């Protein structure tokens, strides 16, 4: 036990510090900069201590620094929970621990903390680049563990890396078996933290001017869709999210019906089956095309025909949905629903109210009024822009009669206002429109920049019917997507200017396809995937017992292979192999020349064979004898290579056999 | 280590285990190949900490359904599993030999040299020698080579110093597991008595005992030079003449056998009541007489070593003194 009390050698310490430097680089991308600076400073300082023999600080100074640094971490993050604060805390803990590493025991503890830091990194993000980097850091830590165990003054870095690499390579088959077969849990054991670095902000549960156009500035992927069968055209790919009823003059928000379950609709039209992989967004919307009547069991279809998960989506999740595209939504409207769909703030936007009243008088049907409104958007000089001027006072009036520049949210909002003022039940739907096909992965990528808002108008003959006023202003937004929707003078973010002929676009498509595969097959590997794997193997109702049995079997087989390999590594020295070759030769030759006296030694046997064999074989035997005696008794009896001996024996025996026939 | 109940329990268990292993294995020959059945393996303290880390990470990965966390956990777990086999292999098949020991004077350190031979194709790394809970060095044993480590034991009493059970262990590659084997070989070191301080009690005058040379000039009668032989007294070395040669020492030779002849007699020290002190004095005299190039004999209770000189004579005398038993 006294080994751990030794002081780490200077070279081992250097090795440890380099590994930590590699590890910290992965965290540097997301912890507060001062923590990174602090950690690297400590690494450099600890090296000087090891190299120059400086003194480590005393207990009081150490405690003072520790208290100060921990307080600073707390002040920076306001918490010590969560992936970011946790990583930061571990990083300063490791850095501080370095100030008291005097013994091997301490440095081993640092390595264990380092492994835990890698784990915290994965909790923060499992993106491919950071995962690769963290695995490199794991390897560095592992070879440090070996270096520390040996704790030699001189380290052969290459051989340390090679040795630990070899061990890691041998561990990988076991790791694969464990990864695939260790039974996973269907749900968390305790609370799951927020998704940390992976979370993207998505659609909110309300809409104010600017909330959608802000979203459009983000290039993040919102979700990916894999259609089983032919995909509908872009202009039909309206992914429905929160439906908004209440308007206070500025903000649209949901009514109280949001979570009531839908009960009145008839499926119609063709069924479309597809799978959605949604990124974590801390919301509950599971976006789908109308009307997703077949959906996962942990989601409900609300009265607004929105699919809502039973808890916030804080991890990437994949769900399968079947939508009936021509379903009539709500053929009847309850009084309550009608009241919500007609709600307007009193004495607000008088000009718009007046316009709506005028339309009501002039037109004889609701459809005609809708058409009238769309015609207004089409014919008057309305502009579709990401940078609308701010609206003042009666916002809808200001927009319709003054600025006439707006984004989808402005058009949807103004349209809905007008319709309600004309007495037509109307509501706003937010969601996404379109999505780009990725030819590499074969699925559609829907980004935050595809966020959209439109309206649904209730007609007696067709229920809730989608009307998209943006289409009247900018048809290309609907037909070709947002990147085509703006005029040349518009100052739009670069990612919206992408064209599909761009080589950069192609690289990005590939990268996203790789990411999608990574997410789907690797990160999403869980109980369901294990279930289907068992089914593939013919175990239809397989459970964790089968998994454990298979795991045991795999370990048994792999363990036998490993033991056999190690026994081979421990095989007897080549000198014995030499002896075996000699015995093989003796056995072969004695068939023709007969066996000699008991206890005949190798030299005697060779001399006898030399006399009794025919001349040709005798000459060969002389060659063998020379090599054999040199290797067995000679000065350079190291016997590295016995292949030459083996070749000679084979030739001799073959010649002897053919001579005998 | 603190004397907590747990530590006491641990000590008791390990003492029991050692006794069991010793009963099981008995006394070993001087050369032993460590077979599978005698190589034991257990996780180290550090291995237990590592396992705790793995458990925490396993729970975390399961809870957060974090695939990369899972990859990390199962990779490290597999690494530990593979490392356990490597630790075991690192020791199994190692050939351990006890080299002959050289006698030492009481008070200095006895050195038991243990030789490790690696006949396997693979290298063996960080092989440690342990004796009485202390490490006595660590060495790599590359394939096909031998290495030595010494167990150094301080000596107190004259006589045979028995090497007790010693351990050969390794924690290579990662220090997570410790494989070890216990060995007990019939290995002992002769401890000569501690010599009395130089010159305190001079040996008796040669003429008092037996016959001394008629010519008192004795060794001064220089007759020529010859090559150095083991046992020649340093003061007979012809330093000036030797310096002219490169590698050899020359020794002055004296006419007529030249040396003083004396008996070193136990009974002559009757005035010294302490037996060990008496033995110490005799030891001093033997050393001095050998250095002087005298011919000397030793008379002990129950044993007489005839007069002679040279290395083997010298050691025979010291051995007799080391093993002397007086009622």
What is the pLDDT, as a whole number, of residue B224?
A: 61
Distances A427 to A100, A205, A466 between C-alpha atoms, Å: 65, 14, 10
Token pair recorded at residue A354: 């007046």
The per-residue pLDDT for A109 is 92
Calculate mean pLDDT across residues A87-115: 91
CA angle A403, A408, A409 (to 5 degrees): 85
pLDDT over threshold 80, residue A200: no
The region of weakest confidence among A140-154, A225-239, B195-209 is B195-209
B271 contacts: CB under 8 Å, gap ≥ 6:
none
Omega before A291 within 30 of 0, i.e. cis: yes
Q: Is residue A300 helix, strand or coil?
A: strand
Tens digits of residue pLDDT in B29-43: 888 889 888 899 999
Measured in angstroms, the CA of B114 and the nearest CA of chain A are apart by 20
Give the model confidence (pLDDT) of A584-606 as tens digits. 888 888 887 877 777 677 778 88
Kindly report, residue by residue over A346-375, the tens digit of the pLDDT.
778 889 999 999 999 998 899 999 999 999
Query: Which range has the top average pLDDT, A254-258, B60-64, B177-181?
Result: B177-181
Cβ distance A142 to B68 less than 8 Å, yes or no, reads no
Average model confidence (pLDDT) for chain A? 84
- Residues within 8 A of A (CB atoms), B 194-233 only: none
DSSP for B46-79, written as a single string:
HHHHHHHHHHHHHHHHHHHT-HHHHHHHHHHHHH
pLDDT of B208 over the 50 cut: no
Q: Do A385 and A406 meet the contact criterion of CB atoms below 8 Å apart? A: yes
Confidence grade of residue B322 (pLDDT, cut at 50, 70, 90)? very high
What whole-number distance in Å separates Cα of residue B296 and Cα of residue B263? 6
pLDDT score at B227: 66
- A126 and B67 within 8 Å at the Cβ level: the answer is yes
Per-residue pLDDT at A500 exceeds 80: no
Confidence of residue A261 (pLDDT cuts 50, 70, 90): low
CA atoms within 13 A on the CB side of A114: 34
pLDDT at B89 over 90: yes
Residues of A438-476 as b/e, b for ≥16 C-beta within 10 angstroms? beebebbbbbbbbbbbbbbbbbeeebbbebbbbbbbbee
Of A342-346, B93-97, B246-250, B263-267, which gets the smallest average pLDDT? B246-250
- The 3-class secondary structure across A2-37, one letter per residue, is HHHHCCCCHHHHHHHHHHHHHHHHHHHCCCCHHHHH
- Name the catalytic one among A398, A408, A410, A450: A408
Rama region for A196: left / alpha / beta (φ>0; ψ in -120 to 50; rest): left
Q: What's the confidence (pLDDT) of residue B210?
A: 42
pLDDT at residue A601, rounded to an integer: 73
Is A480 a catalytic site residue? no
pLDDT score for A218: 79
A44-82 per-residue burial string, b: 16 or more CB within 10 A, e: under 16:
ebbbebbeeeeeeeeeeeeeebbeebeebbeeebeeeeb
Quote ipTM for the complex: 0.78
Neighbours of B225 (CB within 10 A): 12
**How confident is the model over A150-174, as a mean pLDDT?**
91
Residue B223 has pLDDT above 90, yes or no: no
Q: Write out the H or E segment, with its range, that includes residue A319.
A: strand A317-324
pLDDT in tens, B255-314: 444 567 888 888 888 888 888 988 999 999 899 888 888 888 898 888 889 988 888 999
Which of residues A197 and A76 earns the better pLDDT score? Answer: A76
> Does A175 lie at the interface with B, CB-CB under 8 angstroms?
yes
Q: Residue count of chain B, please give it.
A: 327
Interface of A with B in 317-356 (CB under 8 A): none
CA-based nearest residue to A628, from A652, A612, A611, A656: A652
* pLDDT attached to residue B236: 66
pLDDT exceeds 70 at position B135: yes
Interface test mutation site (partner B, options A1, A2, A3, A193, max chain B beta carbons within 10 A): A3
Q: Is the pLDDT of residue A288 over 80?
A: yes
- Chain B hits for A571, Cβ within 8 Å: 120-121
Neighbours of A157 (CB within 10 A): 13
The phi, psi pair for A93, rounded to 5°, reads -65, -45
Q: How far apart are CA A160 and CA A16, in angstroms?
A: 13
CA distance A114 to chain B (A): 11
Q: What is the mean pLDDT of residues A60-69?
A: 89
Q: Residue A614's Cα: distance from chain center in Å?
A: 74
Helix axes A544-569, B67-91, angle to 10 degrees: 40
What single string gives the DSSP state of each residue in B153-181?
EE--SSEEEE---EEEEE-TTTSSEEEEE
E strand map for B163-281: 166-170, 177-183, 188-192, 222-227, 250-254, 261-265
Question: A487 vs A209, A223, A477, A484, B145, CA distance in Å?
Answer: 21, 27, 11, 8, 81
B219 and B252 in contact (C-beta within 8 Å)? no
Give buried/exposed letters for A541-563 (b at 16+ CB in 10 A, else e): ebebebbeebbeebbeebeeebe
Q: Quick check: A263 pLDDT over 70?
A: no
Q: For residues A148 and A130, what is the distance between their CA atoms, to the nearest angstrom?
A: 26
Give the pLDDT mean for B182-197.
91
pLDDT at B216 over 50: no
The answer to whether A167 and A53 have CB atoms below 8 angstroms apart is no
Q: Each residue of A507-557: pLDDT tens digit?
A: 878 888 888 888 878 887 888 888 888 888 877 777 788 889 999 999 999
Backbone φ, ψ for residue A290 (5° rounding):
-75, 140
- pLDDT score, position B211: 44
A572-592 as b/e: b if 16+ CB within 10 A: ebbeebbeebbeebbebbeee
Q: Per residue in A616-640, pLDDT tens?
A: 778 778 777 777 777 666 555 454 5
Q: What is the pLDDT of residues A398-425, one digit of tens each?
A: 899 988 888 888 999 999 999 999 999 9
Give the per-residue pLDDT at A557: 95
Kindly list the distances between the CA atom of residue A297 and the CA atoms of A227, A258, A284, A308, A319, in Å, as whole numbers in the listed order.
20, 18, 14, 11, 10
Report pLDDT for B270.
Answer: 80
The first and second tokens of residue B304, run together, are 């007489």
Cβ under 8 Å to A: B residues 85-114: 85-86, 88-89, 92-93
Determine the pLDDT at residue B201: 64
Q: Taking residues A471-480, what's their average pLDDT? A: 81
**The two three-digit tokens of residue A561, written as one number:** 């292979």
**Could you report the per-residue pLDDT of A423-458, keeping only the tens digit for each?**
999 999 999 998 888 888 888 989 888 899 999 999
Whether the per-residue pLDDT at A83 is higher than 80: the answer is no
pLDDT digits (tens, 9 = 90+) for A218-234: 778 889 999 998 888 88
Q: Taking a C-beta distance cutoff of 8 angstroms, is the pair A23, A117 a contact?
A: yes
* Residues 6 or more apart whose Cβ sits within 8 Å of residue A324: A267, A268, A269, A270, A271, A272, A291, A293
The pLDDT value given to residue B209: 43
Query: Residue range A465-484: average pLDDT?
Result: 82
User: What is the mean predicted confidence (pLDDT) over A91-100?
Assistant: 91
CA A40 from centre of chain: 28
pLDDT: which is higher, A86 or B254: A86
* pLDDT at A42 (0 to 100): 93
The token duo for B275 is: 């037996």
Contact A31, A87 (CB under 8 A): yes
> Considering only CB atoms, which chain A residues are within 8 Å of B122?
569-570
Q: Would you place residue B245 in the very low, low, confident or very high pLDDT band (cuts 50, 70, 90)?
A: low
Residue A109 contacts B, CB cutoff 8 Å: yes
pTM exceeds 0.80, yes or no: no
Q: How is A473-528 classified by DSSP, letter by letter?
A: H-HHHHHT-GGGSS-TT----GGGG--TT-HHHHHHHHHHHHHHHIIIIIIT-SHH
Query: What tokens were used for A541?
Result: 């109702």
Q: Pick the range with the lowest mean pLDDT from A282-286, B68-72, B75-79.
A: A282-286
The answer to whether the Cβ–Cβ distance between A526 and B65 falls below 8 Å is yes
Q: Looking at residues B71-90, what average pLDDT do you find?
A: 96
Residue A256 in this model has a pLDDT that exceeds 80:
no
Active site residue A326: no
Residue A563 has pLDDT above 50, yes or no: yes
CB A243: neighbour CB atoms within 10 A?
22
């Amino acid at each position: 036990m006294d080994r751990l009390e030794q002081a780490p050698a200077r070279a081992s310490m250097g090795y440890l510090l380099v590994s930590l430097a590699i590890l910290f680089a992965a965290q540097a991308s997301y912890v507060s900069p001062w923590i990174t600076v602090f950690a690297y400073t400590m690494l450099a300082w600890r090296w000087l201590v090891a190299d120059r023999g400086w003194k480590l600080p005393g207990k009081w100074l150490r405690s003072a620094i520790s208290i100060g640094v921990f307080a600073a971490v707390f002040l920076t993050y306001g918490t010590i929970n969560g992936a970011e604060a946790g990583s930061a805390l571990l990083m300063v803990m490791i850095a501080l621990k370095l100030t008291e590493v005097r013994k091997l025991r301490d440095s081993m503890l640092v390595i264990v903390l380092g492994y835990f830091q890698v784990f915290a990194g994965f909790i923060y993000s499992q993106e491919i680049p950071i995962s690769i980097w963290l695995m490199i850091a794991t390897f560095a830590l592992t070879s440090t563990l070996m270096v520390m165990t040996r704790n030699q003054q001189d380290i052969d870095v290459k051989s340390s890396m090679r040795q630990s690499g070899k061990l890691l390579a041998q561990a990988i088959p076991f790791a694969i078996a464990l990864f695939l077969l260790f039974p996973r849990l269907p749900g968390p054991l305790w609370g799951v933290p927020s998704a940390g670095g992976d979370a993207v902000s998505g659609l909110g549960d309300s809409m104010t001017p600017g909330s959608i156009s802000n979203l459009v500035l983000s290039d993040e992927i919102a979700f990916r869709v894999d259609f089983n069968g032919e995909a509908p055209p872009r202009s039909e790919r309206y992914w429905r999210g929160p439906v908004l009823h209440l308007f206070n003059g500025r903000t649209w928000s949901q009514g109280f019906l949001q979570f009531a379950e839908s009960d009145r609709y008839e499926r119609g039209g063709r069924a479309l089956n597809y799978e959605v992989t949604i990124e974590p967004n801390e919301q509950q919307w599971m976006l789908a095309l109308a009307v997703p009547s077949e959906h996962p069991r942990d989601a409900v279809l609300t009265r607004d025909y929105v699919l809502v998960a039973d808890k916030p989506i804080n991890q990437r999740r994949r769900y399968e949905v079947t939508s009936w595209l021509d379903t009539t939504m709500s053929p009847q409207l309850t009084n309550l629903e009608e009241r919500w769909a007609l709600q307007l703030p009193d004495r607000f936007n008088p000009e718009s109210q007046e316009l709506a009243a005028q339309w009501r008088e002039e037109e004889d049907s609701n459809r005609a009024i809708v058409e009238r409104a769309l015609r207004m958007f089409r014919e008057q000089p309305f502009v579709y822009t990401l940078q609308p001027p701010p609206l003042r006072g009666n916002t809808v009036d200001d927009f319709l009669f003054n600025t006439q520049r707006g984004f989808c949210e402005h058009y949807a909002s103004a349209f809905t206002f007008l319709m309600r003022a004309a007495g037509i039940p109307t509501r706003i739907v937010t969601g996404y429109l379109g999505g780009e096909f990725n030819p590499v992965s074969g699925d559609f990528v829907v980004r935050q920049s595809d966020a959209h808002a439109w309206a649904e108008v209730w007609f007696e003959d067709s229920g809730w019917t989608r009307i998209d006023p943006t289409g009247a202003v900018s048809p290309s937004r609907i037909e070709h997507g947002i990147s085509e929707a703006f005029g040349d003078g518009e100052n739009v973010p670069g990612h919206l200017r992408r064209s599909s002929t761009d080589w950069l676009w192609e690289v990005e498509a590939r990268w996203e396809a790789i990411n999608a595969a990574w997410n789907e097959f690797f990160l999403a590997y869980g109980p369901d995937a294990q279930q289907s794997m068992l089914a593939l193997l013919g175990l239809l109702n397989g459970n964790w017992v089968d998994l454990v049995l298979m795991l045991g079997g795999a370990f048994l087989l792999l363990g036998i292979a490993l033991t056999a390999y190690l026994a081979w590594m421990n095989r007897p020295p080549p000198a014995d192999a030499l002896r075996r070759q000699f015995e093989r030769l003796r056995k072969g030759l004695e068939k023709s020349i007969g066996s000699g006296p008991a206890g005949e030694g190798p030299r005697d046997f060779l001399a006898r064979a030399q006399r009794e064999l025919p001349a040709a074989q005798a000459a060969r035997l002389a060659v063998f004898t020379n090599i054999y005696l040199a290797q067995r008794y000679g000065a350079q009896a190291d016997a590295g290579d016995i292949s030459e001996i083996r070749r000679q024996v084979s030739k001799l025996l073959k010649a002897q056999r053919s001579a005998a026939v | 280590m603190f004397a907590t109940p747990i530590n006491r329990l641990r000590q008791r268990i390990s003492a029991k285990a050692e006794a069991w292993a010793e009963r099981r294995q008995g006394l070993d020959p001087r050369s032993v190949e460590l077979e599978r059945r005698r190589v034991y393996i257990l996780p180290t303290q550090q291995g237990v900490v590592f396992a705790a880390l793995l458990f925490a990470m396993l729970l975390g990965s399961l809870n957060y359904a974090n695939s990369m966390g899972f990859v990390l956990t199962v990779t490290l777990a597999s690494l530990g599993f593979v490392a356990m086999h490597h630790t075991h292999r690192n020791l199994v098949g190692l050939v351990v030999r006890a080299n002959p020991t050289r006698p030492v004077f009481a008070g200095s350190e006895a050195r038991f040299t243990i030789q490790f031979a690696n006949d396997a194709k693979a290298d063996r790394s960080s092989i440690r020698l342990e004796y009485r809970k202390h490490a006595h060095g660590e060495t790599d044993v590359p394939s096909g080579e031998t290495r030595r480590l010494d167990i150094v034991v301080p000596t107190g009493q004259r006589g045979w110093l028995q090497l007790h059970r010693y351990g050969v262990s390794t924690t290579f590659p990662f220090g997570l597991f410790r494989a070890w084997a216990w060995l007990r070989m019939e290995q002992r070191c002769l401890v000569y008595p501690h010599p009395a301080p130089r010159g305190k009690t001079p040996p008796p005058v040669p003429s008092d005992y037996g016959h001394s040379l008629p010519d008192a000039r004795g060794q001064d009668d220089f007759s020529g030079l010859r090559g150095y032989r083991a046992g020649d007294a340093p003061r007979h070395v012809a330093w000036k003449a030797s310096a002219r040669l490169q590698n050899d020492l020359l020794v002055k030779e004296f006419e007529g056998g030249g040396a003083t002849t004396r008996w070193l007699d136990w009974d002559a020290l009757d005035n010294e009541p302490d037996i060990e002190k008496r033995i110490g004095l005799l030891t001093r005299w033997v050393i001095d007489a050998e250095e002087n190039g005298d011919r000397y004999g030793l008379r002990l209770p129950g044993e007489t070593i005839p007069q002679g000189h040279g290395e083997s004579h010298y050691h025979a005398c010291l051995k007799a003194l080391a093993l002397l038993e007086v009622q």
